[in-house]
Structure 1
Amino acid sequence: MSDFQFSDDERALQQVAAEVAREVYAPLADDLEERHEPLPEQEVARLADLGFLGICIPEEFGGAGAPLTDALIVVEELAKVCRPAAFQVFEANVGPARVLEFFGTPEQQQAFLPLVPTGAMTMAIGISEPDAGSAATDMRTSARIEGDEVVIRGTKRWISNGGHATHYLVYCRFDDVPGAKGIGAVVVPADAPGLTYGARERLMGWKGIPSADLYLDDVRVPLDNLAVPAGGFRDLFGVFSIERLGNSTMSLALGQAALDKATAYVQERKAFGRTIVEFQSVQQTLADMKLQVDAARLLIRRAAVNAGTGLPDTLEVSLAKCFANEMGKKVTDWGMQLFGGNGYTVEYGMERLHRDAHGWAIAGGTPAIQRTRIASELVGRGFSQRPESAVRA
C-alpha cells in the first residue's frame, strides 16, 4: 500500500476523530472563542478516555505506542473545528513530554509519562525569551546546579498554555556557557516556588489557547528534573521536529477547513442569477486552494510516515512546516475572498481560520527560519545569521 493512502486502521481512526469533533467539540468552539477560555477539564478527560492523549506515548507508560501519523490524523480532525481541543492532543503527543521519552532518565519517564495519557499532566515548552525568539541560542535564562538542586532564573515569553499547564520544559543556559553548548532543559512544576506568570497575552487568534510569560526567580527544582544537560541543544531540537509536524498539521487543518467551507458556499451563493461556482475566477481559486492543501498534506505525510515512532528528518520537517504554514495563510485568505463580505464576519467562521493561521506560521520557527534550514541541508553547511564580529567573539 502506498504511504500516501490511509490504512484501514487510520481511516477508522479518522472517522472516530471526525465524529467526536463534529458532535462534541464543534458546538464548544464558539463559546471558547468568545470567552477566550481553554478546553474545560471534563473535555480534556474525554479526550483521555478516547485514548487521544496517549496515541504516541509508549505502551509501557499507558499509551498506545502508535506512530506519529495517528496523532496527526486526530489533531487535524479536531483542529478543523476546535483548535483548543486539538491543542490538548497536540501537547500530549508532539509536545515537550516526548523529550522525556527519547532522552529522559528511566526515573523521569516513570514519574511523568504515565500522567500524559490520563490528562493528569500537561507539559508546555519554554524556549523563547524577550530577546531570543528565532535566535534561540541567544537565550539568557540561567541555570546552575547547587547540590541536589537546579536553580533557574530568567524570563520566558510566548509560552503556549502558559499559566495553565501543570509542568514546563524550560530551556536554559548552564553556568553562563555561551552558544548552544551551554543549553539544556529542566522540568519545572507549575507550582514551583519562585515561578510566576505574566498576564495572559491578547492575541489576534488562538483565543482558546492560553499564552503567558513565565518569570523564574531563583526557582529550585530537584536535580532529578534535569531532562537534558548542557550541550544537548541538538537533541532538544531533534524532538522539537515532532512538534513542528504537529504545528504543520494545525495549518493543514485550517486550510482544509477553509477549502471545505468555500466549496460548499460557492455552490449555494448566487450572483447575477447563477451560483458563483459557475464563474471561472471562482473555479480557479478553488483549484489553487485544493493544490495548496494537497501539497501540504503530502509533505507532512512523507515526514510523518518516514519518522514512524522515531524522530523525523529535519529537512523533511522544514519543508513541510514552511509550505503548510504559508498555505494556511493563503488558503484561508482566498476563502475569505470567495465569501465576499460574509467572509469578513464572525458568523461564517472564515476570518477565525485566517487569524489562527497566522499564529501557527510564527510559532515553532517561522517560514523564513525554515528556508534557512532547507538551504543549509541542500548545500551541506550551516549559515550563521550573526555579524562576523559576533561570530569571532
Structure 2
Amino acid sequence: MDFQLTDEQRQLQASAREFARAELPALAQRLEVENAAPPHALIRRYAEMGFLGINIPERLGGLGLGNLEALIVLEEFAKISSAVAFPIFESCVGPVRAIEHFADPALAERIVPAVCRGEMVVAVSMSEPDAGSALTDLKTRGTVQGDRVVLNGSKRWCSGGGHSDAYLVYCRLSDDPGAKGIGAVLVEKGATGMSFGPNEQLMGFRGIPSSDIHFDDCAVPIENVVVPAGGFRKLMEAFDLERCGNATMSMAQASGALEDVIAYVQERKQFGKPIVEFQAVQLKLADMQMKVDAARLLIWRAAANAQDGLPSVLDSSVAKCFANSIAREVTGDAVQLMGAYGYSRDFPMERRLRDAWGWGIAGGAIDIQKTNIAAAMVGRRFDQRR
C-alpha cells in the first residue's frame, strides 16, 4: 500500500494544474454568467493536450492510463469550475465508459475514438418525471421493430441536454417488470423524433446545460443498443465509476476553496494582523484540510481497488457520499472565512458553494448512497417500496 503518487502521476497532475490555472479562470467566469456550455474549440484543445479519454484504451484513441490518473486530472480542472471540467468528466468516467465496456465493438469503435478526439460529447439520460432515485420505475420505452428500436417517452435533468452530440438513454426494452426490463440505447443528436425542452435554470451547475428530452417515435438502428433488457446491473457497474467522477467534481469544489482561502487568510488583515493569526481561523483550516484529505483518499481507494476496471458499489458510494457531504461543509466554511468576498459573485467561492450542493443531488443523492452502503455491508438490497 503506497500513498504517494508516482513521478509520472505527479507530472500529469502538474501539467493539468498549469493548463487549467493559466487558461480557464476567465472562461469559467464567462460560462457562469452566460450559462453556456464550453465551446467545441476548447474541447478539441483538451483532446490535443491528451485530457480526454485518459483512461480509455489506446486502441480506442485514449491514453491507456488508469482511473486514478483520470481522476487526478479531473480534480485540477474542477478546482477552476464544474463547467470547464465537465467534458473531461464525460469522456473519462461518464457514459462513454459504458459504451466502451458493453456496446457492440463496431459502435464502440465509432463513438469512443470520436470522443477522445474532441469531436463528440456523449451525455447520459437516466431520470424521468417519476423515476429519479427510484430509477427502476422509468417508463421511457424502446420497441424493437425489425432493424430499428423506436423510443417513446420523456427524460428529465439531462446534463448536456440539447448540446451533447449523443445520449445514452436508459429505457425499458422489454415487458419484464422493474430492473429486468431495462437497458440502454445510444441516440445521436438530430435523430428524428427527439426534441429538447428549454435550458434549465439551476441554482448551480451554470455552464453545464440541462434540459428535458422527449422521444416521439424516435427510431435508431438496432446496433445502437448498448445494453439489452436485463442489463441494468451492467449499467450500474459502469455508473459506479461515474460516482467516483461525481465525488471528484464535488471534492474539487472543496479543495479549490481550501487553496483560495489559505491564500486569503494570510493576506486579509483585521485588528492589525492577518486573520490566519487567530486561533479560530486556524482550527477551521485544520478541519477543512482533514475533510478534503479524507475525501480524496476514499476516492483514490475506490479507483485503486478497481485496478482500472469498474469500482465496487461500496467503494464508490462511500467515496461519493463522504465527498458530497464535506464539499458542502468546506465550501460553506470558506465562504464564512472570506466574508463578503466569499459571498460576492465577483469571486468564485460562492459558485463553488452552489455547485457543491448540486453534486450531492446529481448521480444519486447523499441518502441514496447511504442505502447503497448499507446494502453492500449486509450483502442484500433493501426493498424501499414496502
1:215 and 2:214 matched: yes
Q: Residues 25 and 81 of structure 1 are in contact (CA less than 8 Å); yes or no, is this contact kept in structure 2?
A: yes
Q: Once the two structures are superposed, what CA deviation does each residue of 1:115-169 show, in whole Å capped at 9, x if it has no partner? A: 1110112110011001110100010101111111101111110000110110000
Q: Residues 81 and 352 of structure 2 are in contact (CA less than 8 Å); yes or no, is this contact kept in structure 1?
A: no
Report runs of 4+ in structure 1 exceeding 3 Å deviation: none
C-alpha distance in 1, partners of 2:120/2:384? 37
1:66 is matched with: 65
C-alpha distance in 2, partners of 1:55/1:379? 35
1:288 and 2:262 matched: no
2:106 is matched with: 107
Q: Residues 344 and 351 of structure 1 are in contact (CA less than 8 Å); yes or no, is this contact kept in structure 2?
A: yes
**Secondary structure, in 3 states, of the residue corresponding to 2:168?**
strand
Q: Give TM-score scaled by structure 1 length.
A: 0.96
Amino acid in structure 2 at the alignment position of 1:351? E
Amino acid in structure 2 at the alignment position of 1:108? L
Q: How much has 1:24 moved relative to structure 2?
A: 1.0
Give the aligned length. 386
C-alpha distance in 2, partners of 1:204/1:113? 32
1:252 is matched with: 251
Q: Residues 4 and 301 of structure 1 are in contact (CA less than 8 Å); yes or no, is this contact kept in structure 2?
A: no
Q: How much has 1:343 moved relative to structure 2?
A: 1.4
1:168 and 2:177 matched: no
2:238 is matched with: 239
Q: Once the two structures are superposed, what CA deviation does each residue of 1:281-320 show, in whole Å capped at 9, x if it has no partner? A: 1111111100110000000010111223211111010100
Q: How much has 1:177 moved relative to structure 2?
A: 2.2
Q: Give TM-score scaled by structure 2 length.
A: 0.98
Q: Residues 3 and 305 of structure 1 are in contact (CA less than 8 Å); yes or no, is this contact kept in structure 2?
A: no
C-alpha distance in 1, partners of 2:250/2:113? 29
C-alpha distance in 1, partners of 2:347/2:154? 39
Amino acid in structure 2 at the alignment position of 1:227? V
2:135 is matched with: 136
Give me the CA root mean square deviation.
Answer: 1.0
Deviates more, 1:281-290 or 1:190-199: 281-290
Q: Which residues of 2 match residues 1-393 of structure 1 at below 5 A? A: 2-387=1-386
C-alpha distance in 2, partners of 1:175/1:231? 9
**Secondary structure, in 3 states, of the residue corresponding to 1:54?**
coil
Deviates more, 1:2-11 or 1:290-299: 2-11
Q: Once the two structures are superposed, what CA deviation does each residue of 1:19-44 show, in whole Å capped at 9, x if it has no partner? A: 11011112211111111111111111
Structure 2 unaligned blocks of 5 or more: none
Deviates more, 1:244-253 or 1:263-272: 263-272
C-alpha distance in 2, partners of 1:39/1:112? 20
C-alpha distance in 1, partners of 2:135/2:338? 40
Q: How much has 1:214 moved relative to structure 2?
A: 0.3
**Secondary structure, in 3 states, of the residue corresponding to 1:152?**
strand
C-alpha distance in 2, partners of 1:339/1:110? 49
C-alpha distance in 1, partners of 2:270/2:314? 46
Q: Residues 174 and 182 of structure 2 are in contact (CA less than 8 Å); yes or no, is this contact kept in structure 1?
A: no
Q: How much has 1:341 moved relative to structure 2?
A: 2.2
Q: How much has 1:86 moved relative to structure 2?
A: 0.8
**Secondary structure, in 3 states, of the residue corresponding to 2:208?**
coil
Q: Once the two structures are superposed, what CA deviation does each residue of 1:317-347 show, in whole Å capped at 9, x if it has no partner? A: 0100000001111100000110122211112
C-alpha distance in 2, partners of 1:226/1:92? 19
Structure 1 unaligned blocks of 5 or more: 388-393
Amino acid in structure 1 at the alignment position of 2:45? R
C-alpha distance in 2, partners of 1:105/1:41? 27
C-alpha distance in 1, partners of 2:252/2:242? 15
Q: How much has 1:367 moved relative to structure 2?
A: 1.1
C-alpha distance in 2, partners of 1:262/1:82? 16
**Secondary structure, in 3 states, of the residue corresponding to 1:4?**
coil
C-alpha distance in 2, partners of 1:39/1:228? 29
**Secondary structure, in 3 states, of the residue corresponding to 1:113?**
helix
C-alpha distance in 1, partners of 2:40/2:13? 24
C-alpha distance in 1, partners of 2:2/2:364? 27
C-alpha distance in 2, partners of 1:366/1:274? 42
C-alpha distance in 2, partners of 1:95/1:198? 22
Amino acid in structure 2 at the alignment position of 1:118? R
C-alpha distance in 1, partners of 2:38/2:361? 22
Q: How much has 1:210 moved relative to structure 2?
A: 0.6
C-alpha distance in 1, partners of 2:48/2:75? 19
Deviates more, 1:209-218 or 1:345-354: 345-354
Q: How much has 1:176 moved relative to structure 2?
A: 3.1
